[in-house]
Structure 1
Amino acid sequence: MNSPLLGVHVITRDEEDVLPQCLDSVKTVADEIVIVDTGSVDRTVDIAISYGAKIVHTKWDDDFSKARNLGLSHATTDWILVLDADEALAAGAELLADLLQRTDAEAFLVEIENVLGDRPEDRLRHQTVRLFRRNASYRFRGRIHEQIIPAILEHHPLTKIELSPLQIVHYGYLPPRMERKDKIRRNLRLLEMAVKEEPEEPFHIYNLGVTHCQMGRLREAASELQRAYDLTPVGRSYRPTLVRDRAKVLLALNELAEAERLLRAEITHYDDYPDLYHLLGETLERKGLLRESFAAYEQASRCGAAPCKYVTEAGMGTFRSFQRMANLANEWGAVEEAVALYRQALGQHPGYVPALTGLAESLHRLGMADEQILEHLQTATADRLLQASVMAEIGAYPEALALLNRIHPLSLAGEKLRCECLMQTGQFPEAYEKLGVLLREAAEPGRQSLLLDRALCCWSEERSLPFRFYTGLSPEQQHMFACLDGWLIEKKVPDSVSQPFVQNLLERAVQLRLLRIADALGQLSSDWFLAYAKCLYRNGFVLLAADCLLQAMKTGSLDGEGLFLLAELLYDKGHFRQACALFEQILAEAPTDERARTGAALCYLGIAEEVAVEGIGRFPDHPALQADLQRIRASKEKLRGIRWHTCWKGAQRRNLYASANDFIVYDRQK
């Protein structure tokens, strides 16, 4: 009599919240379900029994392989499919029986899609052996991150392991799940035990580094990953992932030179791995080398989606790489090229928010009307909330508000966006009331920003904060708001104010274009006036910022950052000599300031170009002058590929030409 075909094996302990989803996904293909329970005290066992599972009770012994192998000893089927309780079979089930009955393979690779967050792109994909023949010699190895492959390869060549059509979705890396199960601390304990038992096994050391990274211990992670890297030969199957993870940790530590060295060296071994090229692009972009970064992202896009042998993040080599290329093209002014690249990204992932926002930004830069931009977004996505969010990002608040008013009911995120649009369009009384509703439901730390916005709604109408505004506030918050209320409404000089509090309020007032309020806050001290000037510049009020920066320079309160902004402003106006003098002043104090160095170099080239153009005007056929001009312009183009200049988004670009005469326009939009 033939044995049943397929058994599904799961280890459990208090998994009542996820086990039904897991078992539902396999109930049509499993001839046998084996549950190895390690001490559940919830309804896990009852749920498993309801699916007809065979229950094997055992004590948890800090060893996943031991528990897995106990389950294998109770198997009666020809084939074994191993799952975790927080996983589900998502694809390929209908092909499984026919595949297993016809194949001469010993094992199959199964694709695992790890869900890392709520967005579709928050996915990490890899393949591993989860489906294999029942064989008394096949037993898992490793206290944690247990492996069956070594046992199979001892008896059969690699060619006996084939690719299956199965896809498993793993939900265990979602933050709430990780916290509830305390997986990270458990993994750390088991890995430390494994390393103690096998101190030279790089696989354990590598996973220990990953666990340190998950705990936020980046220095410890970097150290362990370096040690694993030094011990791991090129042929080990997990080595490409080790390189990828080590590069990500180096980037997180801002060790850009080491990350670049690692990636350039390892790309020679894994030249079809798009994640490495993409990470190299991120490294070079962080270094400000935009052209080189673009080339790395472009190479990632040539690779396309990673081959199944690699662990890969969704979008590497596809929509993420195209979006990054588009951002860079936008930055150096190739806006039409950026539009085409954003469209390529959206063709691969229509709902990818960074690409949608980038497309809208680019179309705005090309002078397209907001109504037409919205039509392009509607072609890309039918999600009205997403359309509204993108339109708000580029400063098209009336269009965003109209979209939001057509959504019923509106989510919490949508209500917050509606309040933003109401304030940005000058509808402060209505925004004040809606913010009050949100405030009653909000938890820290989101309450503070809602309070600031609500106060600004009052002050924009030149009204003092009502008594009920202070209800529920801490004594410190009451003091701060009362002090600023007295200053903004009655010009009573406050006795003391918190620097972070005023900084946040000042920044928000400028974002909302409440410049009368922001200017009043800037008058509290010379330090706040300089903060106000910088804030104006960052938010696109360049002409207003110029007046304030010059005033700060006259009073001697201009610092290095303010000096740079003024120099940048002069450069943009074509005043190269004056700008150069300021850049040189910065470099005298901070010789390693690369942004100032690039600005100074561009000023020198601008001056040289003016001289060359003047010379050609007098001697139009002079070949040396023509050659000089070509070299100067080529050098300028190369330097434009280095990130040094302030970049403004769509909402900020709308403020670029506001002058002092526009104060009342931007402060009271009615």
Structure 2
Amino acid sequence: MITISLCMIVKNEEARLPVCLKSVADLADEIVIVDTGSTDRTKEVAAEFGAKVYEFAWREDFAAARNFSFSLATCEYILWMDADDVFTEPNRAKLLRLKQELSSDIDAVLMNYVLHEEEQTGAPLAFTRRNRLVKRSRNYRWIGIVHEYLDVADGKQLLTDIAVTHRGTGSHSGRNLKIIEHHLASGGVLQGRLRFHFACELADAGRYEEAVPHFAEFLLDPKANRDDLILACARLADCYGFLGRERQKLETLLRSLQFHTPSSEICCAIGNCMEDRQEWAMAIYWYGQAIQNANVGSWTAIVHSASRTWLPHSRLCLCYAQLGHLRQAYEHNREALRYLPEDPGLLENEKKLKLALETASTS
């Protein structure tokens, strides 16, 4: 069985930290909490869970704080979390099994990171994957003042179905934007992923005109990774949409096809553009591709469950109805209902389409 150091950086998390630690403390052999300037009871709460608590003078750099936390770990593997993350009961069991069975030649373990979940069932609505558990002896480092990531490119990685669920509320966009702008004001430069994240933060702040050239510049970066390039196309297309530049929106979505087989998310976005143009046959093609490509993606791409389940069927229902193909519309609505059996809009569609088909068969 491996040993695990849980390493976290926190600030003013007295309310959320207990929920996080209750979900994982008994599975960690060591808890390292690095406080970056709390003014509440965060440090006392951490100590109540047996954590080793350290202070770190915040310097507008998340990677620096996380690297400091990693430097304090003493166990074989390091697990990292944020205070608004939890392991649900099924995933606690999976983590325990991993701890008992993990092969010593594994350097990094990827786990799902659930970004949004369905309120009633807890089913993931959007998720990605992160290198969540890493071998301490490899001395992996965090990179990036915001949206930091672990560089484990040279290690042996294991993909698992274990999930960490994000239960935070609100957006950190304003905070991250301030950090990047402070970096620039202090003489720092935009390069690589930092330019991409700056563009995303500008877009999240509604500063679409400012975001556009930064996305465009990032898309010319020969060192950018594929997932970032595809996401940059999607985010740039969104900016063009908000700016009313529909032709450039579609062109940018199509540009993403040069990087990889289009994911369901990209296919649905292109299908939506075709709907806006009332090009129903083309919309049908792209929504059909969304269904066909439901398993397309990489280990770290962001997955929106709707685009891979009910959404393309729902849109195909509308498109076929526009062309007068009521049988196909009815069948796709039924497929959408398999995923959302109590959705009032889909149930109403079923009634209307069934009536229309019955009327057509007797006329």
TM value normalised by structure 1: 0.49
Kindly indicate whether the alpha-carbon contact (under 8 Å) linking 1:111 and 1:168 is maintained by their aligned counterparts in 2. Answer: yes
Q: Compute the RMSD of aligned alpha carbons.
A: 2.6
More divergent stretch after superposition (89-98 vs 126-135): 89-98
* 1:171 and 2:152 correspond: no
Contact 2:226/2:259, CA 8 A, preserved across alignment: no
Q: 1:342 aligns with which of 327, 333, 337?
A: 333
Q: What is the Cα deviation at residue 304 of structure 1? A: 1.4
Shift of 1:261: 1.6
Indicate the residue corresponding to 1:244 in structure 2: 234
Q: Could you tell me which runs of 5 or more consecutive residues in structure 1 were left unpaired when the two chains were aligned.
A: 369-670
Alpha-carbon separation, structure 2, partners of 1:365 and 1:28: 59
Contact 1:109-1:163 at 8 Å conserved across structures: yes
CA distance in 1 between counterparts of 2:189 and 2:226 reads 17
Q: Which deviations, in whole Å up to 9, do the C-alpha atoms of 1:270-320 show, x marking residues without a partner?
A: 215221111110111112211101110101110114434321222213211
Q: Is the 8 A contact 1:306 1:312 kept in 2?
A: no
> For 2:201, which of 193, 211, 236 is the aligned residue?
211
Whole-angstrom CA distance in 2 between matches of 1:138 and 1:244 = 30
Partner of 2:213: 223
Structure 2 counterparts to residues 494-509 of structure 1, below 5 A: none
Deviation of 1:110 after TM superposition, in Å, equals 1.6
The residue correspondences of 1:306-325 to structure 2 (distance < 5 A) are: 306-309=296-299, 310-325=301-316
Distance change >3 Å, CA 184–CA 269, structure 1 → 2: closer
Task: Indicate how the Cα distance of structure 1 residues 184 and 321 shifts in structure 2: closer, same or farther if over 3 A, else same.
Answer: same
Equivalent residue for 1:59?
A: 57
**Alignment equivalent of 1:187, drawn from 176, 201, 204:** 176
Considering fraction of residues, name the structure with more helix.
1
Letter in 2 for 1:213: A
The separation in 1 between residues aligned to 2:100 and 2:342, in whole angstroms, is 36
Q: 1:68 aligns with which of 58, 66, 76?
A: 66
Q: Classify 1:306/1:15 alpha carbon distance in 2 versus 1 (closer, same or farther; 3 Å).
A: farther
Using the alignment, how far apart are the partners of 1:364 and 1:27 within structure 2? 57
Q: Could you give the per-residue CA deviations for residues 145-191 of structure 1, whole angstroms, max 9, x where no partner exists?
A: 11211xx33xx35xx1221232111133x3xx33xxxx222100112
Give the deviation of 1:236 after TM superposition. 4.2
Aligned partner letter, 2:245 = E
Letter in 2 for 1:166: I
The structural deviation recorded for 1:13 is 0.8
Instruction: Note the C-alpha offset of 1:222.
Output: 2.5
Compute the TM-score of the two structures, normalised by the length of structure 2. Answer: 0.88
Query: 1:137 — aligned with what?
Result: 139
Tell me: CA distance 1:189–1:349, structure 2 relative to 1, closer, same or farther (3 Å): same
Q: What 5-or-longer segments of structure 2 have no aligned partner?
A: none
> Are 1:121 and 1:315, in contact at CA under 8 Å, matched by a contact in 2?
no
Q: Percent identity?
A: 24
Matched, 1:287 2:288: no
Q: Is the 8 A contact 1:202 1:232 kept in 2?
A: no
2:153 counterpart of 1:162 = no
Counterparts of 2:124 and 2:97, CA distance in 1: 27
Aligned partner letter, 1:339: Y
* Paired residue type of 2:85: E
Tell me by how many angstroms 1:256 deviates: 2.0
User: Which letter does structure 2 place at the counterpart of 1:345?
Assistant: A
CA contact (8 A) 1:305 1:316 kept: no
Q: In the alignment, is residue 277 of structure 1 matched against residue 267 of structure 2?
A: yes
Tell me, what secondary structure is at the counterpart of 2:306? coil
- Shift in CA distance, 121/338, structure 1 to aligned 2, threshold 3 Å: farther
Q: How far apart, in 1, do the equivalents of 2:65 and 2:223 lie?
A: 30
Higher relative contact order (CA closer than 8 Å, sequence separation 6+): 2
Give the conservation status (yes or no) of the 8 Å contact 2:84–2:167. yes
Report the Cα distance in structure 1 between the residues aligned to 2:118 and 2:48, rounded to whole angstroms: 31
Shift of 1:118: 5.1
Structure with the greater alpha carbon radius of gyration? 1
Equivalent pair of 1:127/1:308 in contact (CA under 8 Å): no
Per the alignment, residue 105 of structure 2 pairs with 104
Residue 339 of structure 1 contacts residue 362 of structure 1 at CA under 8 Å; is this kept in 2?
A: yes
Question: 2:116 touches 2:124 (CA, 8 Å); kept in 1?
Answer: yes
CA–CA distance in structure 2, aligned partners of residues 326 and 103 of structure 1: 51
TM-aligned CA distance change 1:364 to 1:216, over 3 Å: farther
d(CA) in 1 for partners of 2:348, 2:239: 28
